[in-house]
Amino acid sequence: ELAAEVAASIDLGALDRAVLSTHEIGEAASKVAVMGAVRRALVEAQRKFAASGAGAVLDGRDIGTVVCPDADVKLYVTATPEVRARRRHEEILSGGGVAEYEDILADIKKRDARDMNRADSPLKPAEDAYLIDTSEMDIESAFRATLDHVEDVLSAKQA
């Protein structure tokens, strides 16, 4: 399958975070994630990337459960669909784009349902993941909560 060949040849270190974070890329990723061969190729590429250096931060809907189940620190960061849609809408508008909040909310709900119900690597928190619900947090509070947890885990590991 051509899509799996392309997935296997991606240099994850060369990808642009700003591009990967767009609403359209998230939607596309969710749609190709149901293709087993593509998913397996990407999981293998992500595992190699995670193991290639002194450490890595990976962001994705199955990182803690499938890609890196033995990671030292696992976070499950979430917010309500309404909050995520509002944030995405504000991000698009601030970048000069045009979008409707209701359309974004519908897309997020569809993506969540598709990702939670797929047979291969469904979206769910790892049993040992630290849950951070950012619905009522600003970015600084979310960062602080995350950093505090990471420091706690790494300190305990070194003790």
pTM for the predicted model, two decimal places: 0.78
Read out DSSP for 111-138? Answer: HHHHHHH-SSS-S---TTPEEEE-TT--
- Both tokens of 36, joined, read 């087993």
- Both tokens of 147, joined, read 């950093």
Paired strand residues for 133: 78
Q: How far apart are CA 110 and CA 104, in angstroms?
A: 10
DSSP single-letter state for residue 63: I
- Both tokens of 159, joined, read 């003790």
- In this structure, the number of other CB atoms found within 10 A of the CB of residue 42 comes to 23
Residues 6+ apart with CB under 8 A from 61: 33, 115, 121, 123
CA distance readout (Å), 70 to 47, 90, 127: 11, 36, 12
Q: How far apart are CA 66 and CA 157, in angstroms?
A: 22
Q: What does the pLDDT profile of the chain (159 residues) look like in tens digits? A: 788 888 888 888 888 888 888 878 877 887 877 788 888 888 898 999 899 887 888 988 889 999 999 999 999 999 999 999 999 999 999 999 999 999 999 999 999 998 888 877 788 899 999 999 999 999 999 999 999 999 999 999 888
For tokens 């397996």, what's the residue? 40
